[in-house]
Amino acid sequence: MPSADQIDLNSLTIFDAVAAAGSFTAAADRLGVAKARISVQVARLERQLGVALFARTTRQVSLTDAGRALHAQCQPLLRSLNEALSQAASTDGELSGVLRISSTVLQAAQSIAPALAAFAALHPRLQVDLRSADRVADMVGEGIDLSFRMGWLRDSSERAIKLGEFAQHVVAAPSYLKLHGRPTRPEQLARHAWIALSLLAAPRTWKFSRAGVKDVVVHMNARIQADSPSTLLALLEGGAGISVLEEMTLQGALARGALVKLLPAWSLARGGLYAVLPPGRHVPPQVRAFIDFYRAWLGR
């Protein structure tokens, strides 16, 4: 097995680019080099390691198990090396390099984008890439430096920093309540039109708590489900049914009277807001700085 000093760092950089792009041609375009050089460097790395890193077809290349394992270990190290070189080149300590952040669409619009705009203004040499989607991003595969998640983290191995908590509320539109009545106890929700948020582990089962009363677990009947909080919010405002959303997402709709809270005497489990980091020990300075900045922003 070759040692680290026998492997050309350029080969690992090219390997990382091919793994991210899924194509030799796309990797060559990204790096600004000839496709032939990409092929030669990858083949040389495979010979040195004695394993195939990519399964090649006429249309695309995909990582083998060995390639996937190597990429998972090397990609964070390469990113950290690039960040360290970028910081070393700075003469005044100002943040530079690239900061790639992922979050849900609603969270990006409500709080992350405004905070990031203020943060970027303080650090004009810093490049920012904010990616918003309601699916959970592959942080290693997509080169994400920092991801914000709301709720409950399913993977206990993730490096996560808890930034705060939020309450959840049962809500519905006045138009729905006018037609179907207003529930006064959790058990009555099972007879209403529930809208399930499929992102949750158990979107149809909810536990309600109240001081001095035994917890009530209700299993909802959901004819409609949505795969994002923004879609769920639109369905609720349209009078399609009843559901649960967290307080930050609900602020505007509650203020306008488009939605109203139900069962005010009962409470649901509080969720967490987390800053999630990719695998690896090194945390780039721009990531640490924005986590601290965003925590303070939320506090205001």
pLDDT higher than threshold 90 for residue 160? no
pLDDT value, residue 2: 61
In a shared domain, residues 235 and 145: no
Q: How confident is the model at residue 83 (pLDDT cuts 50, 70, 90)?
A: low
In a shared domain, residues 153 and 283: yes
Quick: pLDDT tens for 2-16: 655 567 777 888 888
Tell me the average pLDDT across 64-78.
Answer: 82
- Token pair listed for 158: 């993730």
**Which is higher by pLDDT, 43 or 88?**
43
Tell me the average pLDDT across 38-45.
Answer: 88
* Contacts of residue 143, Cβ cutoff 8 Å, sequence gap at least 6: 20, 75, 79, 100
In a shared domain, residues 139 and 122: yes
In a shared domain, residues 237 and 173: yes
Q: How confident is the model at residue 174 (pLDDT cuts 50, 70, 90)?
A: very high
In a shared domain, residues 103 and 68: no
**Domain span including residue 113:** 94-166+273-299
The number of C-alpha atoms within 13 Å of 91 and in the hemisphere containing its C-beta is 0
pLDDT higher than threshold 70 for residue 93? no
In a shared domain, residues 147 and 31: no
Distances (CA, A) of 52 to 16, 43, 57, 181: 14, 9, 14, 64
Tell me the average pLDDT across 140-149.
Answer: 82
What is the distance between the alpha carbons of residues 147 and 252, in angstroms, rounded to a whole number? Answer: 24
Q: Which of 37, 64, 87 is the last residue of a domain?
A: 87
What is the distance between the alpha carbons of residues 101 and 132, in angstroms, rounded to a whole number? Answer: 8
The number of C-alpha atoms within 13 Å of 164 and in the hemisphere containing its C-beta is 15
Q: How confident is the model at residue 58 (pLDDT cuts 50, 70, 90)?
A: low
Q: How confident is the model at residue 80 (pLDDT cuts 50, 70, 90)?
A: low
In a shared domain, residues 189 and 218: yes
pTM over 0.95: no
pLDDT value, residue 102: 92
pLDDT higher than threshold 70 for residue 91? no
In a shared domain, residues 160 and 179: no
Q: How confident is the model at residue 158 (pLDDT cuts 50, 70, 90)?
A: low
In a shared domain, residues 158 and 281: yes
150 SS3 class: strand
pLDDT higher than threshold 70 for residue 263? yes
Over pLDDT 90: what percentage of the chain? 40
pLDDT value, residue 190: 96
- Token pair listed for 61: 């290349």
In a shared domain, residues 106 and 146: yes
In a shared domain, residues 235 and 176: yes
Q: What is the CATH number of the domain that holds 56?
A: 1.10.10.10
pLDDT higher than threshold 90 for residue 255? yes
Query: Please, what is the average pLDDT of the chain?
Result: 85
Q: Which residues pair with residue 210 across a beta bridge?
A: 213
For tokens 């908590």, the residue is: 165
